[in-house]
Each structure stands twice: as C-alpha cells, then as structure tokens.
A = this chain, B = another copy of it.
Amino acid sequence: MNVFETTESEVRSYCRSWPVVFDRAVGAHMYDESGREYLDFFAGAGALNYGHNNPVLKQAVVDYMMADRVTHSLDMNTVAKREFLETFRDIALAPRDLDYKIMFPGPAGANAVEAALKLARKITGRQSVINFTNAFHGMTLGALSVTGNSMKRGGAGIPLVHATPMPYDNYLDGKVEDFLWFERLLGDSGSGLNEPAAVIVETVQGEGGINVARAEWLRGLADLCKRHGMLLIVDDVQMGCGRTGPFFSFEQAGIVPDIVCLSKSIGGMGMPLALTLLRPELDVWEPGEHNGTFRGINPAFVASTAALREYWTDDTLEKGTLAKGEQIGRVLDDLAEAHGLKAKGRGLARGLQFADGDTAGAVCRAAFERGLLMETAGPEGEVAKLMPPLTVTEDEVEQGLSVVTEAVHAVLGKEKNA
C-alpha cells in the first residue's frame, strides 16, 4: 500500500479513475512519474483553461515571487490587487457594458456561491432559493443546499432545506412549456412555495452532465426573476473565463445577472481565486460581514491579470474556442448517431451521453488506457465529459477525438446502428 492508500482519506476520488502519480504538465499534456504522456481533456475540472504551466502566466508569478512582493494579504490593498481590479474592470467588464462591483469571497467557487446566497437573502429579506435539477454549486453547507446530487447532499448529515428545485431547460424533454410550473407557483399565493430570494443557475451544467440551457430559456428566466423580485445569480465558476467561447457564459443570451460567481480558471494557472460580482446597487455589505483568510492570494491576482491581458484583449481565444468546440461537436454528433447516443455541449464544454454510468465509465477508462484524460459527469455518471484547455491546438483536439472514437468503439463496438 502506498501513502495515498494508507494515509489519505477514503474520500479521494479522481485518483481512483487514474491510478498513476502525475509529475509534470505543460499545456494540454500531463506526464506521470514514469514519463508517460496524457492528453488532458479534463483541464483541472475547468480550472486550467489556459493550460498547464502556461509560460506567460508562470513567468509573471515567478517574477513576482522572486521580487519578494506581497504574496498573502487578505483584503489589504496591494499593488497586485490594484492591477487585477483595474485589469478585470477594463478588460472583462467595461467592454461588455458591465459595471459590477467585485467581491473576494474566499478562495473557491463555493465561497463565491455562499456569498451570493447570503447577499441575496440579506437584500430581499427572504430565505428560500430556487435551484435547478442537476445543479452543482459546491460542497459547503450553503452551496450544497442548492446542489442536486443526492449522494453529496446526504453527506451533509442534516436536512438541506431552504432550496426548491425547478426543472432545468429541457428537463422534461420538451413536453412542458418553459417556466409553466415555476411561474404558476410564483403567481399563486396558495401554492405553498416560500417566496424566493434568488434563482441560482448555470448556463451549462458541467457536473450535471453538460446540459446546455438555450439562450431563450435564460432570457425567460431573467425576465421571470425581474417580474417576481428574485435576484438572478449565474454560477459561472465552471463555464466562465471563456469555456463556452465568450468570457462570461451568459453573454450569448444577452442577459445581465444580478450576481455572478467566478472561480476555477479566473486564477489563471489553477491558483485558488474566486469572485462574486454584484450589481453596484446590491453592494449593501457591512465591512467584514463576510470574510476569510485566503482572499488575497497575490500570485493568483498576478496570473489572472496576465491571463486577461494575454487572452482577452482580442477575440482570438474566443473564436478558437468556438471553432474547436465545433470540431469536437462534429465528431461527437457522428458517434452519437452511430451508437444511439446523445452529443451535448457548447464551446469547449462537450459531452457524450451513454445509456448508463457503467458504459460512460468504461469509455473513460478505455480513453485513459490510450493516454487521454476525460471524466464522467451527470447524476449517474452517464456522460463522458470533454473539457480540454482552451489553448489546446486543433491537432491535439484531433488526437483526442481519435482516442475518444477508439474508446467508444472498444466499449460499444464499431457501429451500433450500422
């Protein structure tokens, strides 16, 4: 037994899918300690949109550290934080006509969600929140209460209340018009629905199985929120920072959420950083009413600033993401048609839905054996998820897709429908 087995808690999970010890990583590749190379279509669960050890980001961080500049500062002012704030404002917000205030809620996406929920409750004086079927928002108690997965919910050990699930886009297979049930409940003073403070939504559900909400559904939701005094919180932790093409995943729908949660790739190179963005009039926090130690990781500010400057001052990355997304989409469509599967996704968040979790797991294992890292998602793990770094090359995408195709064939045979 190695130290992972003897000493690390049984809660560990990814290491069970990929039973090797990784050592080096560059761009879209990881290497285990024996030197074997893996093409990474996992990308740190979406935290590595700019690739492993991106040289621009890495150099900025190393230079910063070697100059003995402040690394850890909570919410003190630092030069690095000022540069980040200015850069984020000028590159991420202003060009999109967004004037959000920026809150540093703690190091992780769950902190961004916790802060968003607190604020929505404080502002509205209501306690209830609407989440969606198959949502994933995090593991701390507030974030977990709006997460769908029953195994993870059960881990709380207390009843998770204050949240009511509504059907995500197309959850009922198009049999029901959008928001029929939700709106009926809101409009009926006898419905028994506690008046919601907010609605929290992902534009594409990553952990939920790469479920894509249509733009018109998101617009309908934004409109419903406005009409019923509910704040709209977009959890862009996994789909933000360009994963679906544009910097924010909600841009395509033309909506402006009241609150936005960002994390994962915002820290640039896998450094913990999270933001809760607020419409300025919602910034009613008392100083220190929400705090935490790891809100001023300056290397993350530096990497994030570098990434914004490198990738978001023109539309090269966005276009590349969309193009490579379509490249993947075409292959997945073919596989889906050939094998009676379902291809899903947008931008570089892609999925292939199998009949069950066992099949999807077998395909991912077959891919791993062929040198491709790819994980499952969905309530039963029935979706193989393809999320390469956005900086992946078309050739690397091509190679990855070949492996995916081989893996599917290995598990399902060459042509189910042939």
Contacts and interface: CB of A to CB of B under 8 A. Distances in A.
A239 to B, nearest CB: 13
Contacts of A21: 77-79, 82
Contacts of A106: 108, 110, 139-140
Contact of A165 (B104, B131, B185, B378): B185
Contact of A62 (B66, B208, B285): B66
Interface string A39-76: 00000111110001100001001100111111111111
Q: How many copies does the complex hold?
A: 4
Contacts of A197: 157
A338 interface: no
A11 B293 contact: no
A149 B125 CA distance: 19
B68 A188 contact: no
Closest 9 CB pairs of A and B: A72-B270, A121-B157, A190-B379, A161-B161, A141-B142, A148-B192, A9-B103, A140-B140, A11-B285
Interface stretch (A168-176, A240-248, A346-354): A168-176
A102 B154 CA distance: 22
A405 interface: no
A175 B286 CA distance: 36
A292 interface: yes
A155 B122 contact: yes
B289 A155 contact: yes
B270 A23 contact: no
Nearest to A71: B270
A128 B159 contact: yes
Contact of A291 (B13, B120, B263): B13
Nearest to A100: B7
B85 A122 contact: no
Contact of A159 (B61, B132, B158): B158
Contacts of A272: 107, 272, 294, 297
Given A192-B135, A289-B155, A293-B44, A33 B185 contact: no
Interface stretch (A24-32, A250-258, A308-316): A24-32
A195 B287 contact: no
Nearest to A86: B3
Identify which of A15, A45, A61, A140 gathers the most chain B CB atoms within 10 Å of its CB: A140
A9 B141 contact: no
A147 interface: yes
A137 to B, nearest CB: 10
Interface residues of A, number: 151
Contacts of A61: 65
B72 A269 contact: yes
A330 to B, nearest CB: 28
Interface string A180-198: 1100110011111111010
A153 B264 CA distance: 27
A344 B143 CA distance: 37
A20 to B, nearest CB: 7
A286 B269 CA distance: 29
Given A72-B270, A133-B192, A294-B108, A122 B25 contact: no
A271 to B, nearest CB: 7
A89 interface: yes
Interface in A276-322: 276, 278, 283-294, 297
A162 to B, nearest CB: 6
A156 interface: yes
A193 to B, nearest CB: 6
A329 interface: no
A108 B108 CA distance: 8
A69 B167 CA distance: 42
